[in-house]
Amino acid sequence: MKTYHLEINDVDDFIPELAKTLGIDHSEHLGEFSLFIPDSIGDGNIRGINFPNGIGLYMYHVTVREDTELRISHPTIKPIRFIYCLDGMIGSSFDFIDTEDLVKDHEFVIAAPKSKETYNISLKKDIETTLCYLEIDRLKFQEYFSFDLHELEPIFYKLFSDVQAHNRVSNLGNISLQTSEIIKEIKTCDLTGFPRINFVGAKSLEILSYMLNRFKKEDQQTQNELKDKDRAAVEKVVKYIDSNLAQAGTVNELAQIAGVNTNKLQEVFQKVYGKTVNEYVRDIRLTRALHMLSSGKKNVSEVVYELGLSSRSYFSKIFKKKYGVSPRKVLSKNELPTK
């Protein structure tokens, strides 16, 4: 196994330190760092950005030619990581513990080493792996609160108050479908510059909210209530909607695609997303519409047509209700200059 030792003294150091250790260059724009894996090691890229509230978001899409371990030490900061494995597999371990937890696709691990321990992420040979994780500087995150830490619920107080890292944290579970959807929005975001930074920052908080809710429910009630068949039905419908948003079809048609009856599909969507199938389709359309208008490349009528919405006036009404601003106003701020 090839091992790389990284000493991280500041939240922004990870990618620069990794690039230095690998002997390669990295880039940075508006606080977002990225590097490409050299051919001698494998293929892919790693991106990361840290925000003033102490939350950092990292995305890996990598394949390595041999088993590779990143041994990460933090002499001055004491972070906790919420790691989501979207594809492939990683190992999660600590240097004073002999065992390694395997985190497979659609699984997560919440991990924080004790003081003076390293936290180790191992990438497996020839396995294409996609990771998304939040790294939280607990002290900086505390300072961001507008309330006293003691007001937190006990389970969260224990998690975030341990700024000296007296306790090791290692919890595994299955990624919720809500979290997968948010990560997908980040991966497919085509915004650039300052709008992208704001979008990614907001989505990072959204991921954390879902993750904390899952952490609180130790029995993972929402996921465990779903049978494998029901889970597969929802995933199939969501994938179909993503690929056919303009002609998503009726609930009955979507139920036929999923292989379940209409009532069952509505029931499972309510459990997973807290909304009906039609509400889910509407919200996905509005999210995509916001991206399209923010790019300034399409006018309102083109967005309405491309997303299969019923009318421009109806679209404007639901868009303003959700975002508090009209589609035209979003477009006017982002239109590309004419030549």
Q: Quick one: 205 and 272 in the same domain?
A: no
Predicted confidence at residue 219, as pLDDT, reads 44
Same domain, 227 and 101: no
CB atoms under 10 Å from CB of 310, counted, come to 8
Name, in order, each residue with C-beta under 8 angstroms of 71's C-beta and a sequence gap of 6 or more: 3, 4, 5, 6, 95, 118, 119, 120
- Are residues 195 and 246 located together in one domain of the fold? no
Q: At what angle do helices 154-161 and 193-216 cross, to 10 degrees?
A: 120
Residues 151, 244 within the same domain: no
Both tokens of 291, joined, read: 């991206």
pLDDT value for 337: 42
Query: Which amino acid makes up residue 132?
Result: C
Asked if 261 and 244 sit in the same domain, the reply is: yes
Listed in order, strand segments (DSSP E) in the chain are 2-7, 27-29, 32-36, 42-50, 55-64, 68-73, 79-87, 89-94, 101-104, 107-112, 119-123, 129-137, 169-174
Weakest mean pLDDT among 35-39, 226-230, 295-299, 326-330:
226-230
The values of phi and psi at residue 180, to 5°, are -60, -40
Question: Do 193 and 259 fall within a single domain?
Answer: no
The pLDDT tens digits of the residues spanning 201-232 come to 999 999 998 888 877 765 445 455 567 788 78
Confirm whether 323 is domain-assigned.
yes
Is 339 contained in some domain? no
Structural domain range at position 20: 2-216
Coil/strand/helix, residue 200: helix
* Structure confidence at residue 137 (pLDDT): 92
Answer yes or no: is 260 within a domain: yes
142-201: pLDDT as tens digits: 888 877 666 777 678 778 888 888 889 998 888 888 888 899 899 888 888 889 999 999
Domain boundary among 166, 193, 216: 216
Based on the fold, state whether residues 158 and 142 are members of the same structural domain: yes
CATH number of the domain enclosing 89 = 2.60.120.10
- Is residue 325 domain-resident? yes
Look at 69-83, 159-173, 245-259 and tell me which has the smallest mean pLDDT: 159-173
Q: What is the secondary structure of 243-280 as a DSSP string?
A: H-GGG---HHHHHHHHTS-HHHHHHHHHHHHSS-HHHH
Same domain, 14 and 140: yes
Tokens, residue 166:
């007296």
Tell me which of 25 and 98 has the higher pLDDT: 25
CA distance 113 to 251: 47
Domain boundary among 216, 235, 252: 216
Q: Clarify whether residues 146 and 169 are in a common domain.
A: yes
Is 298 found in the same domain as 160? no
Interval 303-319: pLDDT, tens? 998 888 878 999 999 88
My answer on whether 74 and 39 are in the same domain is yes
pLDDT digits (tens, 9 = 90+) for 2-29: 999 999 988 889 999 999 999 999 999 9
Domain end position, chosen among 154, 181, 216: 216
Residue at 240 is within a domain: yes
User: Hey, is 85 helix, strand or coil?
Assistant: strand
Residues 150 and 246 in one domain: no
- Residue 233 inside a domain? The answer is yes
The whole-angstrom separation of Cα 330 and Cα 186 is 20
CATH of the domain at 306: 1.10.10.60
Neighbours of 243 (CB within 10 A): 8
Number of domains in the chain: 2
Q: What sign for the dihedral angle of Cα 209, 210, 215, 218?
A: positive
